[in-house]
Amino acid sequence: MKIKKLAKIAIFGIFFMSIAYVGVYLYARISPKLVIESANKLFFYDNEEKLFTGSNTKDWVGLDEISPHLINATISIEDKHFYSHHGFDYLRIIKSLYINFINREHVQGASTITQQYAKNLFLDFGKTWKRKAEEAWLTLRLETHYTKDEILEGYLNTINYGGIFGIENAANYYFNKNAKDLDLAEASILAGIPKSPSYYSPIANEENAKARQSLILASMVKNKYIDEEQMEDAKKKELVYLGFEDEKKLTTLMYYQDAVIQELQSIKTIPQSFIETGGLKIYTNLDSKAQTIMDDSIKKNMGEVPNLQIASVAMDPNTGKVLALAGGVDYSKSQFNRAINAKRQVGSTMKPLLYYAALENGFTSSTSFISEKTTFTFAEDKTYSPKNFADTYGNRPISMAAALTYSDNIYAVKTHLFLGEETLVDIAARVGIESELEPIPSLALGSEEINIMEMMQAYGTFANEGYKIKPYFIEKIEDNNGNIIYKHKEVKENVLNKSIVFILNELLSNCYAKEFIDYNYPTCFSIGPRISKKYAIKTGSTDTDHIIMGFNKDLVVGVWTGYDDNRVSEGSNNVYSKHVWVDVMEKYLEGRSDSWYSIPKNVVGVLTDPISGELANDNTKRKKILYYIKGTEPYDDSPDLDSLVPTVKEQ
């Protein structure tokens, strides 16, 4: 009886689902035809309202202009039942669910070509169930209003072939030939790229690409597109990948475009109806001059060390407009955007936040701690023994000015502990750092991971004299009829004291000053000869990361270099981030007058010995004007704060 009851329930369920599917299918049939000619054809304009890229492809070709080998390879590996299903391969879905269940992880997908085309054609707003339902609905509408050949043609002309969109562009880029002329070996290589464009790019990862090619060729044999002999000949053929492109083409521009799309996806006020219409005109803050300078510098400086990657951003600190961005060395070889999606250790670039908090809590440019090998002892006999770069110490009291210029770690940790570890966490949040930070001793040395865009926001607050601004890419968006459907609204919040920011910025401008040459050198002294203007700069290095942040009133530039797999990065690698930084700052601002900050009325400059912070006299060898809130200038009996730091053991 139970079996009969279950059978009736199953039959009823299948009948109900069939009726529901037919109803949905008929509703899709009578729904308005999707306009795929303009869908997802986003037109991107720079800050001069010049089109810098539009649509995803330059060269659309008909199905009859594409090699049959490429078509067969794509269908064989992506969707062998493409011409027989109605948008969904149900047997494949059941099989993939079973395999994923057995392996307890997602190891196999079941998306058809139509589903992938729907996802690529209409902006993907994430992987929520709502988005999946939208994707399914769009898939049905594509299938009911377009022929299989039209869907396949659109798919092949818009798919990502390793940062190169569309099969005609890909054929030209990799082999310098048209899509119709691709042979079996070339076609089976290209057909493998879309599954994971970075991983299977033959230029970035030829070994992975060849393994994928073998899988595709085997599937073509199984599906009777080719025979064994053809498969073996294709596998043996030696291919030459040209990576052919105009030398003037910006290899990092697509990173900026990706950042724009990510911001677009976060704007809640854009009507969902744009999915139906497409053709959006997106007016961005891209400064083509800045992007070209950045791109040229990356090409010039980043080719010496294999696999070393970069994230670089240039921003107007007064508005938050992101003028240029690179999320890697070359978009065609890696589409991962490190500028907007990666978090890395920021090293000593964290220290200006700490020293702002110190200045706010009574420290001055002259406040001194002893720079020496130190072990800090905490409760339960826990210890922490930070070291200075190259194990170099003053072995005497040094001023905050010297500590910042040399990036002295001992001074930073003493300051951090003196203020209380929560103080730095609080100031970081105040200037816009949203990453969750632990109040630990090493936080002062940048041991926590933070995204470079967060650091740009923090440094932008210093550069604009105390206002928190949000970095942004999109100025306005118009629909295809010219109606403005979004316009950026500026939000500025005064979160820092202007006078204290001035003092901090002056301290940061010493990082290439010859007056600080003593037992150590300023951290940016090596690029000093290339610097023609006054800038505030801070570098930071860990075992795995190198970063430099710097600014004046007109521009903030941040650059990170390191490896994606977090391997140890040699200290010598920090020169690449420095050179890219100075190239962008100097070349972008070339011809402009020096843009620095006016001295606030309650701030006074005093001639000092910059290393000790003491008042200068006739016997002082090196002299430098340091700045103070009036009434806090140095005097003869400056206090020794070392005695007030938590238990310290000298070594």
Which residues are paired to 322 by β-bridges? 315
Whole-number pLDDT of residue 324: 98
Q: What is the rounded average pLDDT of the residues 28-46?
A: 69
Residue 426 has phi, psi (to 5 degrees) of: -65, -45
Note the Cα 407 to chain centre separation in Å. Answer: 26
Is residue 106 over pLDDT 50? no
pLDDT in tens, 580-592: 999 999 999 999 9
The predicted model scores a pTM of 0.81
pLDDT in tens, 508-563: 999 999 999 999 999 999 999 999 999 999 999 999 999 999 999 999 999 999 99
Using CA atoms, how far residue 624 sits from 406, 507, 512, 513, 614, in Å, is 15, 11, 13, 10, 11
Using CA atoms, how far residue 37 sits from 272, 342, 482, 487, 568, in Å, is 18, 34, 18, 26, 48
Residue 57 — pLDDT band, cuts 50, 70, 90? very low
State in words which class domain 323-650 has.
alpha beta
Whole-number pLDDT of residue 332: 83
Q: Enter the tokens of residue 113.
A: 């070509």
* Share of residues in the chain with pLDDT > 90 (%): 64
Least confident of 82-96, 251-265, 375-389, 496-510: 82-96
Q: What is the rounded average pLDDT of the residues 249-271?
A: 88
CB 453 within 8 A of CB 469: no
Q: What is the rounded average pLDDT of the residues 168-184?
A: 93
Alpha-carbon distance of 376 to 380, in angstroms, equals 12
Residues with Cβ within 8 Å of 540's Cβ and at least 6 positions away in sequence, in order, are: 346, 347, 348, 349, 350, 351, 407, 446, 546, 547, 548, 549
Is residue 7 over pLDDT 70? no
State in words which class domain 61-236 has.
mainly alpha
Whole-number pLDDT of residue 272: 59
Residue 122 has phi, psi (to 5 degrees) of: -115, 130
Residue 521 has phi, psi (to 5 degrees) of: -115, 150
Whole-number pLDDT of residue 428: 98
Least confident of 149-158, 452-461, 469-478: 149-158
Residue 54 — pLDDT band, cuts 50, 70, 90? very low
Q: Enter the tokens of residue 409.
A: 């770690």
Residue 173 — pLDDT band, cuts 50, 70, 90? confident
Amino acid symbol at 208: N
Least confident of 215-229, 237-251, 637-651: 637-651
Round the average pLDDT of the chain to a whole number and report it: 87
Whole-number pLDDT of residue 444: 96
* Share of residues in the chain with pLDDT > 70 (%): 82
Whole-number pLDDT of residue 210: 95
Whole-number pLDDT of residue 108: 46
Torsion on CA atoms 581, 585, 586, 587, rounded to nearest 10: 100
40 vs 313, more confident: 313
Angle between helices 206-222 and 228-236 (to 10 degrees): 170
pLDDT in tens, 345-383: 999 999 999 999 999 999 999 999 999 999 998 877 889
Residues with Cβ within 8 Å of 589's Cβ and at least 6 positions away in sequence, in order, are: 533, 552, 554, 555, 595
Give SS3 for 534.
Answer: coil
- Tell the burial category of 570 from Cβ atoms under 10 Å away from its Cβ (0-12, 13-18, 19+): exposed
Q: Please, what is the Cα angle at 590 between 584 and 591, to 5 degrees?
A: 165
Positions annotated as catalytic residues are 78, 348
